[in-house]
Structure 1
Amino acid sequence: MIDPSDNSVIKLDFIKKGLTLEIISEGDSSLYKIDENSANENGEAFIQILEGRSYEYEFSKKKYRLKCSVEGIVSKSKKHEHRGRIIPNIYVGTLQLEVFSVDFPDKITKISIEVLATKFNNEPDISYRQNYRNMLESITEKCTDLLMQINSPVLQNFETDFNEDNETIYQRFCFVSSLINSKEFEEAVQKIISSPKTHWINEMEQSDTRKIKRFSSSEIRQLTSSSNRIKLQENHYLNSKGINSIPSKIFSTKKVESIDNAENRFVKHVLEVYLVFCEKCTDNFKVNTREKKEAVILVKKLEVQLNQPFFKEISRPTTLKLNSPVLQRKSGYREVLKTWLMFDLAAKLVWKGGDDVYSAGKKDIATLYEYWLFFALHDLFKEKFKLNQIEQDDIAYKHLISETKDGLNVIIKAGVHTALSGTYISENRKLKIKYSYNRSFKGGKIFNEDKGHGSWTTTLRPDYTLSFWPQEFSESDAEKNELIVHIHFDAKYKVTQFIINTKIDSKEIDEEELEERKGFYKNADLLKMHAYKDAIRRTGGAYILYPGTEAKELRGFHEIIPGLGAFAINPSNEVVGLKNLSEFIDKVINHLLDRTSQRENIASKGYDIHKDPKDDLNILKEPMPEYLNGAKLIPDDVFVLVGFYKDVEHYNWIGSKNLYNIRVDSHHGAIPLTIKELTAKYILLHTIGDSFSNELWEIKGEGVKVYSSAKMNSEGYATENSYLIYQIERSSSKEFENISWNFKELKNYESRRQSAKPFVVTLTDLMKVSEKKSNI
């Protein structure tokens, strides 16, 4: 860990003798200094400050000023302009500061300080180097994995042009350096050196003839032809055969273990190709820039590896045996082969959407975190739901990689809608699922004209949206029929810790309101999730994704959605964060498979309520009871049976028995039975010659009954027919006093011979034809 300090003095003698710039930390800010070797090794400036903190600065000479090309980071004091503050906000990376004198304002000298990331853990150097690099390596690996899935040979012919591709060289360099700088690659090379693949070869050497125990045909021939011979004794066996001398030394072969084989030549070739690429990048980067420093560091690292004695013994390859079992299976070799395949494609990769991430010197870690989350969620949802259809701005793509004149482009870009969709099949339901990045939900006038997706208010664009709807519907039809559910996620790198205080007292509310008046919003991120949930139609939940440690969910009812909350997904602990999110998505899926859920019932009711637009000018102001039989009265859901009585005798029978009868056979006066007739709550009676009626009765009892002709006769109603019987009593609601209804104006009323036929209307429709009795 690097040690913090309160201030640091930067000597600027090269600008003006005796000139210094002092940087002082404010409040809980910290300032760090690293030695030159460490700075060069990591390609960083030796003075380092923290993102999201504030620092004061002061020149030793009053004529000098400080400014920065990044707006809003440097602000000078109004009283003493050689003083001021440096506030990096969420800027991360090498920050170029510009020093100039008021006497020579055009003569600018640039100095660098490093802004370290702090959101991932408590050690800024680890957070900055390790987590940033992890995210970059992860994106590189995911992008190159996507490339590996493309089998079209035409995509393998592009070569980096170092003369024409200056704008993308640093981006390509970042992809490649993330491979070479990885611990996996370094450990693989060391593993190869310590335990290499070897083979046995025959090696010629000059040996003492007397020490050779076994002679080959070649060595036997040398016994008769070689020089420097030794005379044999007369009684020697060979002398008796006519050989009176032998050479003192001959050449013999022996088995020697060698590392100069195809696999090790491949490893050396890989390092040499990496070195050539990095050297070309170095030549194209400007002097004294961060990218130049990074490239030089990588060149030195590769040179150190290639200068090891191991590679001195290995010759250049004539062929590359990429199908070698050793390269594909042996530890060390396997990893080098993997990086080689990734390198070949990474060097061709262009990401036009990653300009903010790969701007030389700047490390836009917030944007990088957003992109990193896209790929992390992409992998999670694709594996979970088998997403296989890709589109961007309504244009279909086969892959997330497209071929351009500059190379192979990753089509993902901030602000551009990209989506993957597929079908999830369970035992009881088939769902279409769509994972969207930067999907806009339009609001305003467009929303009012379109019953599809949209926002009640202004246009909103969450970072990521996961949408679910039944497979048998198109997406637009599912929107119109309230059958789709959206779950939104927003990347919030700037959130340090997401804590929801549900037990807040009035004093804390007052303090928070005071801070909000000053411009400090404690709950701004949570409020934005509320905006997504409440403004975007058919939203089931909105959640923050941030690099913290605490996860929190808030449920709207008793079910998993609708809800709000946050999930901590940290690059240093990616597995745990994604595991928690994955379990949450599983719960959402189980919830969506439940056709009896509260959310499903609310959505169904919502569709019935909103399917027909209501005229704002046609407002019903007539008084009605708030409750009916102890339940909240909803006029649109309350049905009124408009019934006919034949004469005074029939009316008196109804009044005396508190019963109303309707024919249930197929003859004149009978009605077909539907749920509306069976669940009606009121009956409005009328007879021959009526245009208005004030005879409103409430339906009581356990429900509708069927009386046979015998039962009807026993009740004093002479008939040979069966009847549907309602138990009723005159309405006592004060709201209906002195009210008559012009039932002939109701749309279901039929005149002449059909006027006696009962029909059903809603209480809302009935109240639209109501009039005060005094006006009749």
Structure 2
Amino acid sequence: MANPTQSVAVALTDGSFVTLTIFSESDVDASLQLIDAAEAAENGEAPLQLMEGFSYEYQIEGNYRLQEVPKIVTPSRANISSGRITPNIYVGSLILDVLDKDTSVNKGSITIEVRSIKTSYRQDYRFMLEDITEKCTDLLMQYTSPVSQHFTVDFNRDPQTLYQRFAFVKSLIESSDFKEAVHRIVSSPVTSWAEKEEEGDIRRARRINNATMRQFITSSSRLELPATHPLHCRLASVPAKLRIRSKHETVDTPENRFIKHALTSFTQFCTEIRIQFSEDSRAYQEVVHLEEVLENFLSHSVLKDVSPPVSLNLNSPVLQRKEGYREVLRAWLMFDMAAKLIWKGGDDVYSAGKRDVATLYEYWLFFTLLDTFKELFKVEPSTLEKLIKPTADGLGLQLKAGKFIPFQGIFDAGGRKLRVQFSYNRTFRGDQPYPSGGSWTKAMRPDYTLSIWPEGIKRNDAEEQELITHVHFDAKYKVSHLTEIIGDNNLDLSKEKEEQRKGNYKREDLLKMHAYRDAIRRTGGAYILYPGSQLFNKSGFHEIIPGLGAFPVSPSRDKNGISELKAFISEIINQILNRASQKEQLSYRTYNIHKDGPSDILQESIPERYGNERTPPPNDVHVLVGYFKDANHLNWINQQQLYNARIDSDRGSLHLGPSEAGARYLLLHTKAQLTTGEIWRIKENGPRVFSKEAMIKRNYPNPSQHFYLVYEIEKVSAIEFENMKWDIRLLKKHNKGRGSALPFAVSLTELMKAKV
């Protein structure tokens, strides 16, 4: 298959033309196209279209060359009239200057469109900009500060700011809802009955009323009646003409006058803003196209018969309720606000003619997630104070990539109150020592972070006490299919490394989610949001978090994936509300382990297994240090495989605490015995209470107490304790003299430090 090639004529400033030929280095037909001029004008694009991610060679005839654009247009060293074009991830209008090869004087320019690899990017771009506009203007309508009433659009300001404002207005007018609303109005306009008075021949009179009778007497232009006329005896003459009133249906109603006024206002805005742009710019072409759309609306026969409004009756039931009219009313109200809105972040999306749909997707997801979290957590964050602020030249939307914006609220679930924070562009610093929050290594900044911790605890304290959970989301518009994120299960890892050396990191996004989850402390999960269709979610252990994955969230009204994302976040909420969850236990254990600083060092040989299970950490294994009275008592212990301790309130009884009750080993010693190797394993059943009678049945020598606490024991079989002895004087709880007979428990770590 031949690689696509296109040639176009470039108009120079002297009126002549020069041919530019572009060759695609790929055999994909869609990588290089020349679309119809009408289609290009409708979409505000250039007819010659490249595609992001592809590479091209070019050749311009004559004594000319193209201006070098760093990282995009690179002239050839062998022939400066040719070279390569590599758009990479750039999307939008690419204006290339044509220079004289010898003098480098500008001789003209050509605009080339770089399209997104996603076929739906036109629709996505329009929808997202329209949706952001709608959400912003909703916020503006709620903005109650009096300062908002004094802003006017200054058309002499920075053209880039004007284009940003125009982009908002354009998204309103070009929306399918607005176009359908105007179509409904002109197809079925509101009408009213009006009286019309006109002069007519007296013979056309049908009804005679008081006004008609007065004209018979007072009219000046009259006709003599013949003598033979029946009325001659009463009237000598009658009027030649009568002013006759009739009713007719008209579209010239207050509501239709408002519609015409709204469309005229939009048109005037476009006309005033158009003169600020150069005729060869994308902005100029877009304004012209929008003017044509509005002129077509105004030229409809229905609106031609509508007069200008004397007043605007915005409380009209027709404007507020009737389909078509209510949509135009809302657009007109939004238009006034949108024209005053300043959005510096818009420069990232459409500055210098580009259409960065990926960045727009990131902004659109911000509003989508904010609405989702407000709904799920039933909280109303101080949105207006943070997102819309008055500036010197308008109302500023404080949304820009890289700028940290947090929103907080309290979620009351009945049994537990949680503090919820949704953050955009939160940076987790890498220079904070544990247990502070942040990253283990370098600073990291996910696009969106949901942080949840118990109400009543400060965020920093929640971090240090392992009570906070972070869930991260990253926007990835360029990803179309799940395999682009997780790769193929049958992937040859050696081939993947080869691709990485070439610069093709196919699983980079997945690895980034791993980095967020593992590097940012107290992270419960990290997830990719992309405009696809397949869900991918991997959970750790038996609960929804910790985990990582990808959720499809598409820019559309229906089947956009938001419901699945809401269900997932609801599961996270339920898990955090569950005080008996594995995550709750894990966070408590983690805090409890690390709160006291560095742990003890134990490199002695200890059993690897306890019964059929793994031996717990030695700090969690307790050893009961018990006393036997004499040889008879020791013989009874050996025969019965029982160990007894007094449980009365007298001296020498056992103080039963968690360590004593849960002890796993028993170390025996007797009077004046300071070093012992008499170690037993306590069976898992734990201690029981035996009566004096029960002890007599088991041949216990001389029982003196009514009740005893009895442990079932067995000889230790583990070779790790073989031939070991311990000096009980080195144990902190050991008492001298008569107190040495008191049973007590120590950790296995402490016991091993007393090893002889």
Which of 258, 263, 282 matches 2:274? 282
- Tell me which amino acid in the other structure corresponds to 2:66: L
Residue 255 of structure 1 is matched in structure 2 by 247
Residue 486 of structure 1 is matched in structure 2 by 470
Q: What secondary structure does 1:105 align onto?
A: coil
1:387 aligns with 2:356: no
Residue 396 of structure 2 is matched in structure 1 by 409
Which of 666, 690, 698 matches 2:649? 666
Note the alpha carbon deviations across 1:607-654, whole angstroms, 9 max, x for none. Answer: 333333225xx5321111110111101212211112233444444443
Task: Tell me how far apart the structure 2 counterparts of residues 367 and 217 of structure 1 sit (CA, whole Å).
Answer: 75
Task: Tell me how far apart the structure 2 counterparts of residues 379 and 700 of structure 1 sit (CA, whole Å).
Answer: 57
- Tell me which amino acid in the other structure corresponds to 1:184: D
Note the alpha carbon deviations across 1:86-140, whole angstroms, 9 max, x for none. Answer: 2212211101223324411353643210011232xxxx4xx24322111111111
Note the alpha carbon deviations across 1:117-166, whole angstroms, 9 max, x for none. Answer: 232xxxx4xx2432211111111111111112223343232111222354
Residue 725 of structure 2 is matched in structure 1 by 740
Q: 1:387·1:420 contact (CA, 8 Å) conserved in 2?
A: no
1:135 aligns with 2:135: no
Residue 774 of structure 1 is matched in structure 2 by none
Q: What secondary structure does 1:424 align onto?
A: strand
- Structure 2 counterparts to residues 300-699 of structure 1, below 5 A: 300-390=292-382, 398-426=385-413, 428-443=415-430, 445-448=431-434, 451-499=435-483, 504-505=489-490, 508-572=492-556, 575-615=559-599, 619-634=601-616, 635-699=618-682
In the superposition, the TM-score normalised over structure 2's length comes to 0.93
Residue 708 of structure 1 is matched in structure 2 by 691
> 677-686 or 340-349, which moves further after superposition?
677-686
Residue 11 of structure 1 is matched in structure 2 by 9
- Structure 2 counterparts to residues 213-228 of structure 1, below 5 A: 213-228=206-221
Pair 1:658–1:159, CA change in 2 (3 A)? same
Q: What secondary structure does 1:707 align onto?
A: strand
Give the Å deviation of 1:752.
5.0
- Tell me which amino acid in the other structure corresponds to 2:318: V
1:20 aligns with 2:19: yes
Q: 1:447·1:455 contact (CA, 8 Å) conserved in 2?
A: no
> 161-170 or 625-634, which moves further after superposition?
161-170
Task: Tell me how far apart the structure 2 counterparts of residues 429 and 341 of structure 1 sit (CA, whole Å).
Answer: 42
- Structure 2 counterparts to residues 183-222 of structure 1, below 5 A: 183-222=176-215
Task: Tell me how far apart the structure 1 counterparts of residues 252 and 487 of structure 2 sit (CA, whole Å).
Answer: 69
Task: Tell me how far apart the structure 1 counterparts of residues 346 and 377 of structure 2 sit (CA, whole Å).
Answer: 27
Gaps of 5+ in 2: none
1:264 aligns with 2:256: yes
Pair 1:178–1:13, CA change in 2 (3 A)? closer
1:760 aligns with 2:745: yes
Task: Tell me how far apart the structure 2 counterparts of residues 371 and 706 of structure 1 sit (CA, whole Å).
Answer: 68
Q: 1:20·1:60 contact (CA, 8 Å) conserved in 2?
A: yes
- Tell me which amino acid in the other structure corresponds to 1:22: T
Residue 53 of structure 2 is matched in structure 1 by 52
Task: Tell me how far apart the structure 2 counterparts of residues 334 and 629 of structure 1 sit (CA, whole Å).
Answer: 76
- Tell me which amino acid in the other structure corresponds to 1:136: L
Task: Tell me how far apart the structure 1 counterparts of residues 743 and 197 of structure 2 sit (CA, whole Å).
Answer: 117
Pair 1:621–1:324, CA change in 2 (3 A)? same
Residue 394 of structure 1 is matched in structure 2 by none
- Tell me which amino acid in the other structure corresponds to 1:299: E
Residue 107 of structure 1 is matched in structure 2 by 106
Pair 1:259–1:226, CA change in 2 (3 A)? same
- Tell me which amino acid in the other structure corresponds to 1:52: G
Give the Å deviation of 1:474.
3.7
Task: Tell me how far apart the structure 2 counterparts of residues 135 and 491 of structure 1 sit (CA, whole Å).
Answer: 14
Pair 1:111–1:184, CA change in 2 (3 A)? same
Pair 1:441–1:503, CA change in 2 (3 A)? same
Q: What secondary structure does 1:359 align onto?
A: helix
Task: Tell me how far apart the structure 2 counterparts of residues 573 and 319 of structure 1 sit (CA, whole Å).
Answer: 36
Over the matched positions of the two proteins, sequence identity in percent amounts to 49
Task: Tell me how far apart the structure 1 counterparts of residues 121 and 55 of structure 2 sit (CA, whole Å).
Answer: 18
Give the Å deviation of 1:399.
5.0
Note the alpha carbon deviations across 1:650-705, whole angstroms, 9 max, x for none. Answer: 44443443322221111112233223211110122234444443332211363211
Residue 40 of structure 1 is matched in structure 2 by 41
Residue 714 of structure 2 is matched in structure 1 by 729
Q: What secondary structure does 1:462 align onto?
A: coil
Task: Tell me how far apart the structure 2 counterparts of residues 501 and 452 of structure 1 sit (CA, whole Å).
Answer: 32
> 633-642 or 153-162, which moves further after superposition?
153-162
Give the Å deviation of 1:384.
2.0
Task: Tell me how far apart the structure 2 counterparts of residues 504 and 34 of structure 1 sit (CA, whole Å).
Answer: 40
> 171-180 or 559-568, which moves further after superposition?
559-568
Q: 1:483·1:603 contact (CA, 8 Å) conserved in 2?
A: yes
Q: 2:58·2:82 contact (CA, 8 Å) conserved in 1?
A: yes
- Tell me which amino acid in the other structure corresponds to 1:86: I
Q: 1:417·1:436 contact (CA, 8 Å) conserved in 2?
A: yes
Q: What secondary structure does 2:570 align onto?
A: helix
> 685-694 or 167-176, which moves further after superposition?
685-694
- Tell me which amino acid in the other structure corresponds to 2:605: P
Pair 1:259–1:153, CA change in 2 (3 A)? farther
Pair 1:106–1:762, CA change in 2 (3 A)? farther
Q: 1:390·1:419 contact (CA, 8 Å) conserved in 2?
A: no
Q: 2:529·2:551 contact (CA, 8 Å) conserved in 1?
A: yes
Pair 1:380–1:346, CA change in 2 (3 A)? same
Task: Tell me how far apart the structure 1 counterparts of residues 339 and 17 of structure 2 sit (CA, whole Å).
Answer: 46
Pair 1:246–1:23, CA change in 2 (3 A)? same
Note the alpha carbon deviations across 1:718-743, whole angstroms, 9 max, x for none. Answer: 23312111122343322223433333
In the superposition, the TM-score normalised over structure 1's length comes to 0.90
Pair 1:246–1:150, CA change in 2 (3 A)? same
Task: Tell me how far apart the structure 1 counterparts of residues 708 and 316 of structure 2 sit (CA, whole Å).
Answer: 91
Give the Å deviation of 1:40.
2.9
Give the Å deviation of 1:753.
5.0
Give the Å deviation of 1:83.
2.9
> 42-51 or 333-342, which moves further after superposition?
42-51
Task: Tell me how far apart the structure 1 counterparts of residues 146 and 192 of structure 2 sit (CA, whole Å).
Answer: 35
- Tell me which amino acid in the other structure corresponds to 1:377: L
- Tell me which amino acid in the other structure corresponds to 2:432: I
Task: Tell me how far apart the structure 1 counterparts of residues 639 and 183 of structure 2 sit (CA, whole Å).
Answer: 104
